């Protein structure tokens, strides 16, 4: 009889992890206070790791909810698509969002590559981070530019938001490409509030520049499978486990890591790690 209970428990756990939690997103609200460079508050909607394909399930309804928001900025920290069939879906969903000062997108490894099962095996066994099948990243970038989003690849944009000088910097994918911090951060000054978008937070280990105020990142999906009160079972990162999600301070830099909205289509399950979008209020 005990085996029946064990089998029933495992079945319930599997159903929850594969069917319920991956389709149960949340909007997480986070506050970052005491930013002396700012005169007035700034609101940021942080999206990451959406992993869009031709069909999107719950994401259609979640994006409808997000379209009701009106932040100052929208930042998207990579892995928007999972393969080329997600390009049109990404265009449709992101075009429905509104931000007073624009949407800023960087690229992740899944934007560059369509990871099949063999690619995931190679990735996690150390035989290669690049997939064997490339996505049409140029078409994806054109689609983003076509809806007015700014795609930053080792580049930056200067803004004036509510009287605050803000610099938004975006790196290339640190996993399959090369980050050029010199180029990305060349416009950074001590007077601007400097936001760095980086798909994987591990890039901060190579960051020698002083003056970055906030890093927005993703990639880890928060570990996807977490044990309550203990944390994630695995991490695709060189950073300590506490940096896999949430708002933290790392060597004087505030870092915000999203659990992401989706997952690679071959790595679906989530447990104690709901998909999310993050609303960040940054205040003086």
Averaged over 71-82, what is the pLDDT?
A: 98
* Whole-number pLDDT of residue 2: 81
pLDDT surpassing 60 at residue 1: no
Averaged over 183-204, what is the pLDDT?
A: 96
Using CB atoms within 10 A of its CB, is residue 49 exposed (0-12), middle (13-18) or buried (19+)? buried
Tokens encoding 52: 């869009």
Q: What is d(CA 115, CA 122) in angstroms, rounded to the nearest whole number?
A: 10
Nearest in space to 257 (alpha carbons), one of 229, 233, 230, 237? 237
Tokens encoding 252: 């004087």
Averaged over 168-173, what is the pLDDT?
A: 97
Up-side HSE of residue 202: CA atoms within 13 Å toward CB? 13
pLDDT grade, residue 119 (50/70/90)? confident
Least confident segment among 5-19, 66-80, 269-283: 5-19
**3-class secondary structure, 141:** helix
The rounded Cα 94 to chain-centroid distance in angstroms is: 14
Report the greatest alpha carbon distance in the chain: 68
Q: What is d(CA 124, CA 56) in angstroms, rounded to the nearest whole number?
A: 25
275, 229 contact by CB (below 8 A): no
pLDDT grade, residue 62 (50/70/90)? very high
Q: What is d(CA 132, CA 226) in angstroms, rounded to the nearest whole number?
A: 30
The rounded mean pLDDT for the chain is 93
Q: How do strand 164-170 and strand 155-161 relate by DSSP bridges?
A: antiparallel
Higher local confidence (pLDDT), 3 or 45: 45
pLDDT grade, residue 192 (50/70/90)? very high
Tens of pLDDT, residues 252-281 = 999 999 999 998 887 789 999 999 999 999
pLDDT grade, residue 216 (50/70/90)? very high
pLDDT grade, residue 54 (50/70/90)? confident
pLDDT grade, residue 101 (50/70/90)? very high
pLDDT surpassing 70 at residue 94: yes
Tens of pLDDT, residues 231-251 = 888 778 899 989 999 999 999
* Whole-number pLDDT of residue 268: 84
- The domain covering 2-282 belongs, at the CATH homologous superfamily level, to Metallo-dependent phosphatases (3.60.21.10)
Sign of the Cα torsion 208, 245, 219, 129 reads positive
* Whole-number pLDDT of residue 118: 87
Give residues with Cβ within 8 angstroms of 31, minimum separation 6: 280, 281, 283
Could you list the beta-strand ranges (E) of 48-205: 73-77, 103-106, 150-151, 155-161, 164-170, 193-200
Q: Parse the chain into domains and list their residue ranges.
A: 2-282
Burial pattern 160-185, b for ≥16 Cβ within 10 A else e, equals ebeebbbbbbbbbbbbbbebebeebb
């Amino acid at each position: 009889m005990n085996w029946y209970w064990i089998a029933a428990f495992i079945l319930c756990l599997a159903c929850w992890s594969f069917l319920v939690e991956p389709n149960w997103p949340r909007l997480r609200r986070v506050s970052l206070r005491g930013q002396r460079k700012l005169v007035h508050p700034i609101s940021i909607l942080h999206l990451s790791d959406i992993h869009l394909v031709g069909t999107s399930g719950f994401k259609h309804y979640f994006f409808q909810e997000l379209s009701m928001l009106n932040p100052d900025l929208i930042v998207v920290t990579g892995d928007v698509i999972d393969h080329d069939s997600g390009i049109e879906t990404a265009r449709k969903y992101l075009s429905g969002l509104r931000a007073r000062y624009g949407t800023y997108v960087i690229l992740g490894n899944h934007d560059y590559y369509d990871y099949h099962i063999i690619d995931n095996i190679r990735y996690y066994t150390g035989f290669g981070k690049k997939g064997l099948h490339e996505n049409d990243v140029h078409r994806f970038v054109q689609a983003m530019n076509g809806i007015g989003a700014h795609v930053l690849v080792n580049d930056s944009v200067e803004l004036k938001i509510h009287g605050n000088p803000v610099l938004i910097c975006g790196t290339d994918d640190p996993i399959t490409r090369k980050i050029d911090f010199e180029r990305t951060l060349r416009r950074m000054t001590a007077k601007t509030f400097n936001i760095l978008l980086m798909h994987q937070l591990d890039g901060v280990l190579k960051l020698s520049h002083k003056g970055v105020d906030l890093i927005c990142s993703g990639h880890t999906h928060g570990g996807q499978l977490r044990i309550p009160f203990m944390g994630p079972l695995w991490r695709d990162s060189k950073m300590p486990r506490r940096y896999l999600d949430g708002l933290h301070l790392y060597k004087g830099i505030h870092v915000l890591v999203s659990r992401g909205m989706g997952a690679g289509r071959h790595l679906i399950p989530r447990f104690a790690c709901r998909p999310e979008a993050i609303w960040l209020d940054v205040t003086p």
